[in-house]
């Protein structure tokens, strides 16, 4: 029974998130329906990360097992045919060893957060960025971000509903840079707590506005209290870019 690995792109604004929910269409459900339409089989698809409603993916990874033999190209093109009316596409499909697990085998997850930092609201980037009209100091944000890199108890940046066993995570990389009218935040870790990237971004925005110093960010981390850090940035700026194995 071959196991397939998919690399996926999707527009988070069209879905309630990766996982099946009562209140709307999930990426997982759309994908499982496409697999059923292609193969006749009812399967469960496991993703590297359960992205929230509104969060985009450029490189989500998922796996599933299929009794019938398909070539990877057939899987990719066949699923994209059945996904033609969905804001989800399969970028790549491959056959992987049975031991491969999209979530458990992942060694690193990379996210990008895009802020459109200009006074006029977005047009061409509508739904694809967080619009922040006040000028942000990206260099100050980058400097403050370095306090978060490394192994820490990230309780201050953890959603109340987070199901992780431990609030300790190792943040391998967190960088902020300006690219024209955009402020781009990149983050990489083996795994993240629920809302961790969005909570870090919401906190770094306070630094970019000049309301917080880098020392305030360090103090918020040390407090181990969600109320000590900044607000949660909205989902539409966040992209799951890549998962490494």
Cβ within 8 Å of residue 237, ≥6 positions away: 113, 114, 115, 128, 129, 130, 201
Say whether residue 135 binds its own copies (CB under 8 A). Answer: no
- CA atoms within 13 Å, Cβ hemisphere of 33: 14
Q: Catalytic annotation on 69?
A: no
Q: Return left, alpha or beta for 54; rule: phi > 0 is left, psi -120 to 50 is alpha, else beta.
A: left
Cβ within 8 Å of residue 119, ≥6 positions away: 133
Segment interacting with its own copies, rule: CB under 8 A, options 47-55, 124-132, 139-147, 182-190: 124-132
Q: Which is nearer to its own copies, 63 or 114 (CB)?
A: 114
Say whether residue 90 binds its own copies (CB under 8 A). Answer: yes
52, 77, 137, 225: the catalytic one is: 52
Interactions with its own copies, residue window 70-89 (CB under 8 A): 76-77, 80, 84, 87-89
What are the Cα distances from residue 34, in Å, to 14, 24, 31, 44? 16, 17, 5, 12
Work out the burial of residue 55: count CB atoms within 10 Å of its CB; fewer than 13 is exposed, 13-18 middle, 19 or more buried: buried
CB of 136 to its own copies, least distance (A): 18
CB of 80 to its own copies, least distance (A): 5
CB of 58 to its own copies, least distance (A): 7
Judge whether 127 and 143 are in contact, CB under 8 Å: no
Segment interacting with its own copies, rule: CB under 8 A, options 123-131, 151-159, 194-202, 230-238: 123-131
Q: Which is nearer to its own copies, 167 or 234 (CB)?
A: 234
Q: Which is nearer to its own copies, 99 or 120 (CB)?
A: 120
Q: Is 9 helix (H, G, I), strand (E, B) or coil?
A: strand
| Distance, CA of 32 to CA of 47 (rounded, Å) | 12
| Distance, CA of 85 to CA of 91 (rounded, Å) | 16
Say whether residue 134 binds its own copies (CB under 8 A). Answer: no
CB of 189 to its own copies, least distance (A): 23
Q: Is 28 helix (H, G, I), strand (E, B) or coil?
A: helix
CB of 53 to its own copies, least distance (A): 16
Q: Of 97, 98, 107, 120, which one interacts with its own copies (CB under 8 A)?
A: 120
What track of x and - describes contact with its own copies for positions 4 through 23 (by CB under 8 A)? -----xxx------------
Q: Which residues are catalytic?
A: 52
Q: Point out which residues bind its own copies (CB under 8 A).
A: 9-11, 56, 58, 76-77, 80, 84, 87-91, 118-124, 126, 128
């Amino acid at each position: 029974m071959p196991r397939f690995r998919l690399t996926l792109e999707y527009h988070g604004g069209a879905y309630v998130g990766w996982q099946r929910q009562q209140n709307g269409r999930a990426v997982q459900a759309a994908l499982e329906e496409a697999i059923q339409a292609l193969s006749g089989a009812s399967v469960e698809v496991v993703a590297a990360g359960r992205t929230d409603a509104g969060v985009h993916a450029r490189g989500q990874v998922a796996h599933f097992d299929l009794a019938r033999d398909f070539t990877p190209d057939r899987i990719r093109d066949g699923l994209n045919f059945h996904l033609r009316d969905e804001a989800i596409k399969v970028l790549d499909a491959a056959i992987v060893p049975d031991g491969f697990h999209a979530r458990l085998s992942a060694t690193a997850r990379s996210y990008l957060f895009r802020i459109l930092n200009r006074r006029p609201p977005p047009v061409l980037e509508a739904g694809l960025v967080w619009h922040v009209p006040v000028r942000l100091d990206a260099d100050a944000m980058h400097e403050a971000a370095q306090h978060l890199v490394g192994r820490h108890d990230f309780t201050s940046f953890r959603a109340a509903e987070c199901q992780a066993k431990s609030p300790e995570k190792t943040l391998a990389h967190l960088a902020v840079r300006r690219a024209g009218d955009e402020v781009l935040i990149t983050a990489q870790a083996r795994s993240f707590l629920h809302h961790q990237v969005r909570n870090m971004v919401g906190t770094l925005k306070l630094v970019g506005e000049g309301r917080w110093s880098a020392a305030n960010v360090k103090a918020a981390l040390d407090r181990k209290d969600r109320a000590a850090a900044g607000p949660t940035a909205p989902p539409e700026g966040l992209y799951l870019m890549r998962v490494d194995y």
